[in-house]
Structure 1
Amino acid sequence: MTLLKTCVILLLLTVLFFVLRNMDLLQLNYEENFGIVLKKVTSAPRTVPRTAPHTDNFCTFEPLSLADAKEERMLLDSIAWPETPLLPAPFLFDQTSDPAHSIFTILPGRGGVDRHVGDQLEVMVQIYDFQGNPKKSGGDVLLARLHNRALEAGVAGRVVDHLNGSYSAVFPLLWEGSAHVEVTLVHSSEAVTVLHRLNREHPERVLFKSLFRSGSSSETTSCNVCLRQTNQPQCNYSDLRTGEPWFCYKPKKLSCDDRINHMRDGFNVRLKDKEEKLFQSKVNLKVFIHSSGPANVMVLPPMKGQPEVDQGKGKSGLSGYYYQGVWRSLGGTKVHQFNNSSAISQCLKGKVVHMYGDSTVRQWFEYLDASLPDAKEINQNSPKQTGPYMIWDNAKNILVTYRVHGPPLSFIYVPTSELRYIANEIDGLVGGTNTVVVFSVWAHFSPFPIELYIRRLQSIRRAVIRLLNRAPDTLVVIRTANLRGLTPSESLNYSDWYTLQLDKVLRAVFKGFNVRLVDAWEMTLAHHLPHNIHPGRPIVKNMIDILLSYICTK
């Protein structure tokens, strides 16, 4: 019996030695499947972050699986921008796109002079350089809308790049009366060349840092999705469930465990000689292009036998339009009006609404907070920008929450205890008929490689699929990206061109899944209010009407 016990003990010790000896290898294999490979970085254990030696490759992404790799390739192909010109150093500014010389022309209608509701309007745009010469290649960033200010009507136009310096903008004619064409040059093709290079070569140009504190000692170090090679070891804060990457340089005297917050630390944009000229307000950054003739048309009632408005997306491919200041859907759920607190609270009665993401969805939370006077704020002392927030109406059994998404986050200050990833939060929900999940994640991802955003969305999508598998009646609503107001400096990190790429990827990743979209891109483009990262209240009101129409379909 004594011999048997001795053998068992020796066997257990052997197994324990093998496990301890191979733990690092097992952990490394686990994290490599997350999709970001930082060579020679020692993975952090599940409970205690450890330091990570510097890496030879600055920031290399790899797909999580063969299926993810295939999808990523398809997504990258789908958002591929037309080839833009190389910029010699120094480049010739006079040969770049100039909105002042460029023109648009309304093309004659088919079948006669008259235009009717239900027809299409086509506009031809020709881009010229500052010397007045027509451009011979594409790649400029254009926006187009059709509107009538008196009717508070507006609709986005679909822009087609012919790759030869000319573009088409196509609009559906959806209301009677005057319709005015507006075409905007957001960026020249040369500016796109610069923006593309910045994200490829300088993904760390938005600076972040964290404060480490232990007792009376404190240190601050730089952090980011990827950190450049130095002699300073790194702390690996990548999320062990989703694989979302985040690293900080290790403090000299303190432990990785002593990190207490996350902060933005400014910007470090590196432009080449004269490239700043490509980003000038009132010169070539979000500037209107003038018409070579009339800029408006008169729209007559529908022709006999023709439906008033195509209520499906049809050939326009649009989500909706404004008329009398109200958003009308072009297919899908009919949008109802929730014009007072009573209507909003009645719709939300018995509902739990969880909101996750950036400040654009926090704006929705703030709207509902102001619209539910009987609801009480539960955690009023949370950080203003990040939350978490919660309002509760006991009489009507309404609960609405908001929590910010995980890094990258360009907020000034976030406690590390509040750094959560949307996928993990969704995995913690029970779901059900009375549960609504709303998220918006895009505004902080513009300055980073698009592959990072693809992985974030794939992670969230997997969590959404798990949620809908266990609770199929849960309503999931996604707020898409929207246009911003751009200063020259903002455009280098948060350009509408970056946002457009993110928006296309988001729609593609969730296409065909049981989720609902609120098309913030079209709703900001079609409206007369100036573009703003946080749209004006009339736009937000229409967005909330769509959200509530999804919740209360009858």
Structure 2
Amino acid sequence: MVNIYSSIPEFDFKTLPNLETSSASIRSTVRSEPDVQQCSYLYLSPKNTKEGPRLLDSITWPDTTPLSKPFSLNLTTSGAKSSFTIVPRSGGWRVGDELTVRIQLRDYNGNPKKSGGDFLISRLHNRELGAGVVGQVQDHLNGTFTAVFPLLWNGKADIEVTLVQTSESITVLKRLTEEQPDRIFFSSDFRFGGVTKKSICNVCLDPDRAPLCNFTDLNTGEQWFCYKPSGLDCNTRVSHTFGGFSQKISKEEATLFQKGSNMKVLLKAVENSSINISPKPGETKKVKPGPSGYYYGHQWRPIGGPTLHQLNDAAVITACLKGKQLYLFGDSTIRQFYQHITKTLPNLLTFDKHSLPQSGPFLAVDHKKDIMVTYRCHGPPIRFGVPVSQMRYVANELDGLTGGPNTVVVIGVWSHFSTFPLEVYYQRLMTIHRAVQRLLNRAPGTKVIIRTANMKDLTLYESLTNSDWYSLQRDKVLRAVFKDSGVLLLDAWEMGQAHYLPHSLHPQPEIIKLMIDVVLSNTCPNKGG
């Protein structure tokens, strides 16, 4: 039983001269004699070789069956043919009890599936009450699943079970990562005088294909390479941007990613799809390990954590942030936090005019209240444009912070690593983890908050580049790395899944506001609004 919760542009490699290194590294000097042999997507630094494989093995997804030959869609999981059944309970359900749901997956022919590995999620909700909580899904590895829900409110509760990805589509996603870890690629402009040339860049490149510029960061050990453009030195690199996406998937495999049929499809109930929950006399049972929180009255309520305040007034938020420095590091899902805060607090003076709208860096200050809020995107791989002069690894930025009781750091690094092997993401998280530990050691009062991944709307393209299954794997790695590390996990995964709003890579403003409430409630536990 397993618990689960374009084309490449033409590039003339023949015109490139011999291998050369660069001094234009990200925040540090690159190796004078780069060890290109270490250019590997599966490379783990010596610091990570002991625990890394063990951790990654511990979250391995169940084996999925190979696709049939010849391929037949009829033999794969069908959302329309699959269903769930409420397990009856003598005497009905009361607050504090648990609800169990059995799920049976079937193929397009209506035959029960005999193997596991499908990706399912479940939710219990009541739209009128603004209530929702995720279920804990268990894969029995034989085509059946169980979802268990804590019953946390009085009244009606509707059950929702969603087939996110079939085991067959996950077989394809696994293959893509193993065979095409570089299918998302990047480019940089190299410029000297009036000459500008583009070059392909990535976490790892083939040194036999063309000479390389090695931009590996000495402090973090994070690898980054570009093919050296003809006639220009490596230290003439001026910018980074998304290069493109190279896709190798058959028409038959593409049929495994049909929204509403075998991807992001709600399963039907055999009989009832809802229950009525009665009040519980006396003390409510303590909720077993499961969800991190739930919605009630359209507000997020953490389970087993500090009380969440609803900071709805700009004056209350300003009072919370008075005298504080808020550092936001990460991708666009963290940039949303900066945008929300600066929009909510009219007295913040922003200095963003000369920064790129996606990458920043951004700065907002309130001199009278001594408030500073900053945002900076994380280092490569990142899929939007950034001047090389402004590229920073999160770990290096953390090492530059003084920290202290008036410093709050929020980090969100996940989405841009989805197409790479988990080793690449684990390596990045460990460099951040060690920098967080150094920060907390020298400034124990610093508040560090790590934002988890979240689910999104899926198309065929999104499935191949940002699938929820890819995000789930990274979410598991992130939780394992930062477990018991003295940081707060902001559970964006559950906050997005339990909410009635549709999944989105960039959650709706209502959900972002609730996430900001989590940040501020932990920043100012005694101030509410």
**TM bracket, shorter-chain basis:** over 0.9
Instruction: Tell me which structure has the larger Cα radius of gyration.
Output: 1
Quote the offset at 1:92 in angstroms: 1.6
- The equivalent residue for 2:282 is 305
CA distance in 1, matches of 2:196, 2:77: 51
Give the TM-score, by structure 2 length: 0.92
* Pair 1:271 & 2:249 matched: yes
Letter in 1 for 2:442: R
Paired position in structure 1 for 2:44: 63
Shift of residue 269, structure 1, vs aligned partner: 1.4
Q: In structure 2, what is the equivalent of residue 543 of structure 1? A: 515
Tell me if the contact between 2:21 and 2:213 (Cα under 8 Å) persists in the aligned partners: no
Shift of 1:183: 0.5
Q: Note if 1:148 corresponds to 2:126.
A: yes
Decide which of 282, 301, 305 is 1:332's aligned counterpart.
305
Structure 2 counterparts to residues 375-454 of structure 1, below 5 A: 375-411=348-384, 413-454=385-426
Q: Say if 2:184 and 2:419, in contact at 8 Å, map to a contact too.
A: yes
Q: What amino acid is aligned across from residue 157 of structure 1 in structure 2?
A: G
The yes-or-no answer on 1:500 pairing with 2:472 is yes
Q: Structure 1 250/409 Cα, relative in aligned 2: closer, same or farther at 3 Å?
A: same
Match of 1:370 in 2: 343
Q: CA RMSD in A?
A: 1.8
Match of 2:434 in 1: 462
> 1:444 aligns to what SS in structure 2?
helix
Q: Tell me, yes or no, if the aligned pair for 2:135 and 2:149 is still in contact at 8 Å.
A: yes
Task: Please say if 1:192 is aligned against 2:165.
Answer: no
Cα offsets for 1:20-39 (capped at 9, x unmatched): xxxxxxxxxxxxxxxxxxxx
1:83/1:139 contact within 8 Å kept: yes
Q: CA deviation at 1:387?
A: 0.4
Tell me: CA distance 1:553–1:266, structure 2 relative to 1, closer, same or farther (3 Å): same
Contact 2:406 2:446 in 1 (8 A): yes
2:268 matched residue in structure 1: 290
Q: Which runs of structure 2 are paired with 1:206-245 in the superposition (5 Å)? A: 206-245=184-223
Contact 2:41–2:421 at 8 Å: present in 1 too?
no
| 8 Å Cα contact 1:144/1:156 also seen in 2 | yes
Change (3 A) 1:163 1:355: same
**Partner deviation per Cα, 1:109-165 (whole Å, 9 max, x = no partner):** 2xx131100000000000000011100000000010000011111001110000000
Task: Mark the CA change 1:222 to 1:50 in structure 2 (over 3 Å): closer, same or farther.
Answer: farther
Of residues 101, 109, 130, the one that matches 2:81 is 101
C-alpha contact 1:143 1:183 (8 A) present in aligned 2? yes
What secondary structure does 1:478 align onto? strand
8 Å contact from structure 2 (residues 80, 268) kept in 1:
yes
Q: Give the C-alpha shift of residue 48 in structure 1.
A: 6.8
Q: Among the aligned pairs, what percent are the same residue? A: 50
Mean Cα deviation higher: 402-411 or 374-383:
374-383
Partner of 2:12: none
Q: Deviations over 1:26-55 (max 9, x none)?
A: xxxxxxxxxxxxxx9887666478797976
Q: Choose which of 479, 483, 504 in structure 2 pairs with 1:532.
A: 504
Contact 2:19–2:211 (8 Å) recurs in 1: no
The question of whether the paired residues in 1 share the 8 Å contact of 2:455 and 2:471 is answered with: yes
For 1:107, the aligned partner's letter is V
Q: Indicate the SS of the match to 1:99.
A: strand
Report whether the alignment pairs 1:490 with 2:462. yes
Bigger relative CO (Cα 8 Å, ≥ 6 apart): 2
Superposed, 1:116-131 pairs within 5 Å as 116-131=94-109
Post-superposition offset of 1:252: 0.9
| Aligned match of 2:6 | none
Tell me which residue corresponds to 1:28: none
Q: Provide the secondary structure at the position in 2 that maps to 1:108.
A: coil
- Cα distance between partner residues in 1 of 2:443 and 2:262: 50
Deviation at residue 273 of structure 1 after TM alignment: 5.1
How far does residue 513 in structure 1 lie from its aligned partner after superposition? 1.1
Q: Could you tell me how far apart the structure 1 residues matched to 2:484 and 2:422 are? A: 21
In structure 2, the residue matched to 1:18 is none
**Contact persistence 1:41–1:52 (CA under 8 A):** no
Residue type matched to 2:237 in 1? Answer: R
Alpha carbons 2:324, 2:407 under 8 Å: kept: yes
1:349–1:398 contact (8 Å) kept in structure 2: yes
1:79 deviates by 1.3
Does the aligned pair in 1 maintain the 2:418–2:471 contact within 8 Å? yes
Letter in structure 2 aligned against 1:280: Q
* More deviation, 149-158/43-52: 43-52
**Paired residues of 2:30 and 2:218 also in contact (CA < 8 A):** no
Q: How far apart, CA to CA, are the structure 1 residues paired with 2:505 and 2:209?
A: 39
> What code does the residue aligned with 2:435 have?
A
SS of match in other structure, 2:99? strand
Q: How far apart, in 2, do the equivalents of 1:53 and 1:175 lie?
A: 59
What is the CA-CA distance between 1:506 and the residue it aligns to?
Answer: 0.6
| Matched-pair contact (CA < 8 Å) for 1:388–1:401 | yes
> Could you list the runs of 5+ residues in structure 2 that have no partner in the other structure?
1-17
The answer as to 2:448 corresponding to 1:476 is yes
Mapped partners of 1:62, 1:495: distance in 2: 23
| Structure 1 residues 54 and 452: CA distance shift in structure 2, 3 A | closer
Matching residue of 2:334: 361
Unmatched 5+ stretches in structure 1 = 1-39
In the alignment, is residue 350 of structure 1 matched against residue 323 of structure 2?
A: yes
Q: Secondary structure at the match of 1:164?
A: coil
Are positions 1:80 and 2:60 aligned together? Answer: yes
**Cα separation, partners in 2 of 1:375 and 1:58, compared to 1, 3 Å:** closer
Matched residue pairs, number? 505
Q: CA deviation at 1:75?
A: 1.6
- Kept in 1: contact 2:330–2:412 (CA 8 A): yes
Deviations 1:329-365 (A, max 9, x none): 1111110110110111011011001110001111011
Q: Which residue does the alignment assign to 1:32?
A: none
What letter is aligned with 2:192?
S
Q: Distance in 1 between matches of 2:119 and 2:130?
A: 26
Note if 1:315 corresponds to 2:288.
yes
The aligned amino acid for 1:508 is A
Distance in 2 (CA, whole Å) between partners of 1:440 and 1:231 is 34
Match of 2:149 in 1: 171
Q: Distance in 1 between matches of 2:78 and 2:510?
A: 33
Residue by residue, what CA displacement relative to the aligned partner does 1:50-73 show, whole Å, maximum 9, x if unpaired? 797976x873534323x6223212
Aligned position for 2:3:
none
Change (3 A) 1:231 1:54: farther
In structure 1, distance between residues paired with 2:141 and 2:61: 11
Looking at structure 2, the residues matched to 297 and 365 of structure 1 have their Cα atoms a distance apart, in angstroms, of 40
